[in-house]
């Protein structure tokens, strides 16, 4: 994407040939730096100092002038055209940030009110008796546990390796009975 040199227009001086070449070369270098930024391998660590410089140098494209410098340049350009700025960029940014903060504050207040309403609804809902679904689940669990208990009772008793036929006559076949005598 080759940029054309600026044409003579409102409030601009016409560019001579050397300035046009210089501006064209600058734009080409900036475009090249932008391409290098987009194709940088961020997962690869730097191997040398020179490698770090080559990888980081194109990022100058992302820097900008300070807000005060831009305001001064815009005010000077507007004064040349016989106009004046209504506000500076800094003032505009502060105004936009303030408006956004007010909007977000209103949203936070609305969310808090909704949260309070939901919490109140939750508290009042659980003050009442159990819902039908919980009662149904409790009944099903009770029936399952009763069936499991009946199945356990219906099983034949497990014979120990120490059955009554193996024990001597004076001994109690139950474990721990010897210490009770």
Tens digits of per-residue pLDDT, 123-154? Answer: 776 665 557 777 888 898 899 999 988 988 88
Angstrom distance (rounded) from CA 66 to CA 62: 13
**Shared-domain flag, residues 129 and 80:** no
Q: Are residues 21 and 76 in the same domain?
A: yes
Report how far residue 167's alpha carbon sits from residue 172's, in angstroms, rounded to the nearest whole number.
8
Do 102 and 145 lie in a common domain?
yes
**Is the domain of 98 the same as that of 142?**
yes
Residues 76 and 106 in one domain: no
Give the domain extent around 45. 17-87
**Comparing 129 with 84, which gets the higher pLDDT?**
84
> Looking at the structure, do residues 82 and 117 belong to the same domain, yes or no?
no
Question: Based on the structure, what is the number of domains in the chain?
Answer: 2
The reported pTM is: 0.33
Q: Is the pLDDT of residue 157 over 50?
A: yes
Whole-number pLDDT of residue 107: 93
Number of H helices, E strands in the chain: 5, 0
What pLDDT does 3 receive?
43
- For 153, residues 6+ apart whose C-beta sits below 8 A from its C-beta are none
6-64 pLDDT, tens digit per residue, is 444 444 555 788 888 888 998 888 888 888 888 878 788 989 999 888 888 887 767 66
Per DSSP, 88 falls in state: -
50 and 29 belong to one structural domain: yes
| Of residues 167 and 64, more confidently modeled | 64
In the predicted structure, residue 118 carries a pLDDT above the cut 70: yes
Residue 165 lies in a domain: no
Does residue 89 surpass a pLDDT of 70? yes
Residue 93 phi, psi (nearest 5): -65, -40
Same domain (yes/no): 71, 114: no
21 and 77 part of one domain: yes
As a whole number of angstroms, the distance between CA 116 and CA 109 comes to 11
- Residue for token pair 């992302």: 62
Cα separation, 79 vs 100, in Å, equals 31
């Amino acid at each position: 994407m080759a940029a054309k040199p600026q044409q003579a227009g409102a409030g601009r001086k016409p560019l001579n040939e050397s300035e046009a070449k210089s501006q064209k070369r600058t734009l080409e270098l900036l475009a090249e730096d932008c391409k290098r930024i987009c194709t940088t391998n961020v997962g690869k660590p730097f191997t040398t100092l020179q490698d770090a410089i080559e990888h980081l140098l194109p990022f100058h494209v992302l820097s900008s002038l300070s807000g005060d410098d831009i305001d001064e340049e815009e005010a000077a350009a507007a004064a040349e055209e016989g106009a004046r700025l209504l506000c500076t960029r800094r003032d505009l940014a502060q105004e936009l940030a303030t408006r956004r903060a007010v909007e977000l504050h209103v949203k936070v207040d609305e969310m808090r009110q909704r949260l309070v309403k939901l919490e109140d609804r939750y508290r009042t809902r659980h003050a009442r008796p159990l819902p039908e679904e919980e009662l149904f689940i409790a009944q099903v669990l009770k029936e399952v546990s009763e069936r499991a208990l009946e199945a356990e009772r219906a099983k034949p008793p497990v014979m120990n390796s120490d059955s009554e036929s193996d024990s001597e006559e004076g001994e109690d076949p139950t474990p721990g009975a010897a210490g009770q005598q």
